[in-house]
Structure 1
Amino acid sequence: MFEDLTDDELFAEVLQRRATGGVVGDALGALCERWARPARYVISKIQASYGRGSPADADELYQDAVGKFLDKGLDQFRGVSEQMPGRSASPKTFFLRIVKHVAIDFYRRQREDLAPAAADSEDAFEEPPAQVARAVESSRRREERSEAQELYWRAYERLQREHPKEAGAWDLYHHQDVEDHEECARRLNITVVNSYKRVSRAQAYLRLYLLDLQQEGGRE
């Protein structure tokens, strides 16, 4: 229902719904989905600069950024560029700035958690309890992300078996270097509308399959 709207028009729809107490989830989700690929590109650049990270990190950081955009970003956006005062800023640029800061904060914390302790006292090898707790938590999160990544690929394999058309669109849009739905539609020889629909259905199937896998794990 939002396919014919530009980013600015869709963002205006989100703000209007929010101002009147309406539901913004579907409109905001559609908007952020358009920005998912550039967001993951921003995250990949931050990962490269810190020399760490994985595809599972990118998904988690993207979702964190969407949450911050909803919780605080919608109220903070003023439409003015921070780098060039007097120039307008797009909501996409504002969102990608949130993505950048979320990724930087995440990997900065990781680097601090993994930094070696100073060896200039008798207690050099006794880390403070808070630092130990952070290191344990960081290790736990890495393990969870690894498990989540494994579950994702199992779910995707099921998608390929049961819904190959949706899997093909999802692969182009999320796994390969495809810029947008127009390019995705061109490669699949379908309409842009069908590209949106296939990617949307693929996302819904993947969520269902992931839920099934998580429930199977719980029963085990």
Structure 2
Amino acid sequence: MYDQLTDDELFAEVARSRSAGEPFGGPLGALVQRWGRPARYVISKIQASYKRGSPADADELFQDAVGKFIDRGLEQFRGVSEQMPGKSASPKTFFLRIVKHVAIDFYRRQREDLAPAPSDPDDVMEEPPSEVARAVETARRTQERSEAQELYWAAFARLQEEHPKEAGAWDLYHHKDVEDHEECARLLNITVANSYKRVSRAQAYLRLYLLELRQAAEGKE
């Protein structure tokens, strides 16, 4: 019976039943089931970022996120976008943000638990040359990533100035928690086809800007 309802209509039914003290497990279950696939995609991105995790984690994290959505999210959701004031936010985007933070917290705790305990300074032995070389190489790569990020954000700032519509679509699709063109189009009040076009054009502009910025940087060296 819920298949014919949109996400917004289903969420409205959840809110109505909840405020009336009626059972709302049916519409809520149908709603989060729809969001299972994009939620697991968000979790996979976090797993890749932290270089840990397994498919089994995805089910557990998804269930944790559903629990938080029920416990606090239903009360906190206001339907207003935090990233784009004045724009409405969908319950799906709100839920996926919860999924993201649940996954980040989980793997951050894992990383902290696995970190070696600090050594007594008096017991620290001199590192062998191989370790020193590895540390130097790690530092070099870190600096390169930092420089690449600076170039990227400089290119994106230029995109925002010269092509604000394309920049807006790119920002939603790649920087925010919007994982598909349908949601991107809804937030921007455009067609799905236009969402694809804007993101594609933004990518082409960014490649050009990055190339120009790299050439300019190499010319200064």
CA displacement, residues 12-58 of structure 1 (integer Å, 9 cap, x when unaligned): 00000000001011110110000000000000000000000001000
Q: Residue 71 of structure 2: SS of its match in structure 1?
A: helix
Aligned equivalents of 2:41, 2:51: Cα separation in 1:
15
Opposite residue 65 of structure 1, the aligned amino acid is: A
Question: Which amino acid is the alignment partner of residue 9 of structure 2?
Answer: E
Residue 60 of structure 1 is matched in structure 2 by 60
Q: Which residue of 1 aligns with 2:22?
A: 22
The C-alpha deviation readout for 1:103-146, integer Å capped at 9, x for no partner, is: 0000000000000111125799xxxxxxxxxxxxxxxxxxxxxx
Of the two, which has the highest radius of gyration?
2
- Tell me, in whole angstroms, the C-alpha distance in 2 between the residues paired with 1:50 and 1:123: 30
Hey, what does 1:88 align to over in structure 2?
A: 88
Aligned length: 125
Q: Return the letter of the residue paired with 1:12.
A: A
Residues 115, 22 of structure 1: CA spacing in aligned structure 2 closer, same or farther, 3 A cutoff?
same
Inter-partner Cα distance in structure 2 for 1:3 and 1:122: 66
Secondary structure in 1 matching 2:99: helix
TM-score by length of 2: 0.55
Change in Cα spacing, 1:119 to 1:43, as seen in structure 2 (3 Å) is: same
Report the equivalent of 1:49.
Answer: 49
Task: Name the CA distance, whole Å, in 2 between partners of 1:107 and 1:6.
Answer: 33
Calculate the TM-score normalised by the size of structure 1.
Answer: 0.55
Among all aligned residue pairs of Structure 1 and Structure 2, give the percentage whose two residues are the same amino acid: 78
Amino acid in the other structure paired with 2:81: S
Aligned mates of 2:85, 2:52 — CA distance in 1: 34
Distance 1:91 1:81 in 2: 10
State yes or no: 1:102 paired with 2:102: yes
Aligned to 1:73: 73
Matches within 5 A, 1:122-201: none
**Using the alignment, how far apart are the partners of 2:104 and 2:60 within structure 1?**
13
Pair 22,123 (structure 1): closer, same or farther in 2 beyond 3 Å? farther
Q: List gaps (5 residues or longer) in structure 1.
A: 125-178, 180-220
Gaps of 5+ in 2: 125-179, 181-221
What residue in structure 2 maps to residue 118 of structure 1?
Answer: 118
Structure 1 runs (4+) deviating above 4 angstroms are 121-124
Structure 1 distance, partners of 2:112, 2:86, is: 37
Q: Tell me the residue number matched to 1:36.
A: 36
Distance of 1:116 and 1:96 partners within structure 2: 32
What SS class does the counterpart of residue 5 from structure 1 fall into?
Answer: coil
CA RMSD in angstroms comes to 1.7
Where 1:32 maps in the other structure, the secondary structure is helix
CA distance in 1, matches of 2:59, 2:70: 17
Residue 164 of structure 1 corresponds to none
